[in-house]
Amino acid sequence: MSEQAVAFDSATYRQTMGNFATGVVVVTGLVADQPIGFAAQSFVSLSLDPPLVAFSPAKSSSSWPKIRESGHFGINILGEDQRDVCVGMAQSGADKFANVQWQSGLTGAPKLQGVLAFIECSIEDEHDAGDHTIVVGRVQDCTRADSDSAPLLYFRSAYGSFV
Ligand SMILES: Cc1cc2nc3c(=O)[nH]c(=O)nc-3n(C[C@H](O)[C@H](O)[C@H](O)COP(=O)(O)O)c2cc1C
């Protein structure tokens, strides 16, 4: 596919895709008792029966290979007041949990304090997809959580909220 000529450049592609507004999650895992996580907007609910969700980690992600080892992951849906959490979780190599309160869920995956909802999954499958992979998770537990806040949204490279 990448060898075919296309009529647009990479910047145009990014800017075009940025018109799709999404919520933001933090994908978490517990590895050797250490919390691991990264921000993602590629989360999607896939199937009700069985309950399946998916998200797409970049192949360059340093966190996902560690989380994968644990066999489970958590999806933390962020509220509009958690922009700083998102920014921190989007910085590769940082001490991402230094200022974040969390507790382990059923599978061990970290649930961040103050999230709108928390979904815990076992890893069902992973599919190759260009410079990303598509991870399918089977939901093991889910809770509407601590906050009634509006969701944190991402649109055209900027954060916003639902009015
Ligand atoms: C709003 C937002 C959405 C993001 N969505 C994704 C995503 O869906 N998949 C992904 O791999 N990275 C996504 N990222 C980028 C990662 O959070 C970022 O590359 C992070 O540094 C990866 O950290 P790691 O190296 O610890 O895995 C997103 C970043 C932001 C700010």
In a domain, 121, yes or no: yes
Based on the structure, what is the number of domains in the chain? 1
pLDDT band at 2 (very low <50, low <70, confident <90, very high): low
Q: Is 85 helix (H, G, I), strand (E, B) or coil?
A: helix
Instruction: Please check whether residue 5 lies inside any domain of the structure.
Output: no
Beta-carbon contacts of residue 2 (< 8 Å; ≥ 6 apart): 130
Residue with CA closest to ligand 1 atom 21: 92
Which residue range is the domain that position 121 belongs to?
22-155
In a domain, residue 16? The reply is no
Task: Report the chain's mean pLDDT, rounded to a whole number.
Answer: 95
Evaluate whether residue 8 is within a structural domain.
no
Residue 162 lies in a domain: no
Is 161 within a domain? no
Rounded Cα distance between 18 and 25, Å, is 17
- Each as own residue / partner, the long-range contacts of residues 87-93 (CB below 8 Å, 24 or more positions apart, any chain) are 87/39, 89/26, 89/37, 89/38, 89/39, 90/38, 90/39, 92/38, 92/61, 92/62, 92/63, 93/62
CATH number at residue 110: 2.30.110.10
Q: pLDDT tens for residues 57-72?
A: 999 999 999 999 999 9
Which residue among 42, 43, 61 has the greatest number of ligand 1 atoms within 8 angstroms of its CB, and so is best to mutate? 61
CA distances from 75 to 94, 115, 130, 137 (A): 20, 10, 23, 10
Measured from the Cα of 36, ligand 1's closest atom is 26
CA of 156 to the centre of ligand 1 (A): 15
**Is there a domain that residue 26 lies in?**
yes
pLDDT tens sequence across 18-54 = 999 999 999 999 999 999 999 999 999 999 999 999 9
Q: Whose CA is nearest to atom 31 of ligand 1?
A: 90
Query: From the CA of 39, how far away is ligand 1's center (Å)?
Result: 5
Q: For residue 6, what pLDDT is reported?
A: 87
Residue 156's φ and ψ, nearest 5 degrees, are: 50, 50
Closest residue (by CA) to atom 19 of ligand 1? 90
Q: Measuring from each residue's beta carbon to the nearest atom of ligand 1, which residues come in under 6 Å?
A: 24, 38-42, 56-58, 61-64, 86, 90-92, 154
Confidence of residue 163 (pLDDT cuts 50, 70, 90): confident
118, part of any domain:
yes
Q: Distance from the CA of 79 to the center of ligand 1, in angstroms?
A: 17
Please write the tens of the pLDDT for every residue from 71-130.
Answer: 999 999 999 999 999 999 999 988 999 999 999 999 999 999 999 999 999 999 999 999
